[in-house]
Amino acid sequence: MDELEAVQMLLRAIGSSPVNNLDVAHPDMANARACINRLRKSVQKTGWWFNTDYNVVFQADVLGEVRIPKEVTRFIASDAQFVKRGRKVYNSQTQTFNIGASVTALKTVRSLEWAELPASIQEYAAYLACSQFISDEIEDPAKEEKYQRLAGISKIDVDEEDLESIKVNVFHNSRVSRARSGQTPYHSQVNLRPNSYS
């Protein structure tokens, strides 16, 4: 779904006339686009399979400062003393922005534009935006609840895709692997059956 389809969905939800393009003069267009943009950013804050990067190196500039791109909404450095403040890395131990070296982020979350989002996230964000738009514009609780329900259904697809992408599996746990391979934390001579007298 492109942004125009999402806007049309919001306009239909409040009973407004549809549009052919995003540049047309329409009384509800600005509010619809603002609502979609707000929900697009909100949905991505969590960090999903498509907008999370690991072990990203950020270089220091000539002033020794490490700048973070504006689309990065979450920044977790490998060294806990480095934190994100505004658009720069801050050293909380020395209370300075002058880092003087590159900083590795264990995890970063980026806010992507609408066209870059997977279809499942676009659908989820569009339904959430519809619910919010109805609340803002016409205050119809029944319609609002309908779109919240549709958002909940589409969230199931999003969660499923996220789990498939990161391949969550209990058997990849090191403790489970040891247990399945027959290794024990004790010596082999020790009797592990406490009620055995043989």
Contact 98/42 with Cβ under 8 angstroms? no
Per-residue pLDDT tens for 78-106? 999 999 999 999 999 999 999 999 999 99
**CA angle at 12 for the pair 42 and 1, rounded to the nearest 5°:** 55
Q: Does the pLDDT of residue 198 top 50, yes or no? A: no
Per-residue pLDDT reduced to its tens digit, 15-59: 999 899 998 888 999 999 999 999 999 999 999 999 999 999 999
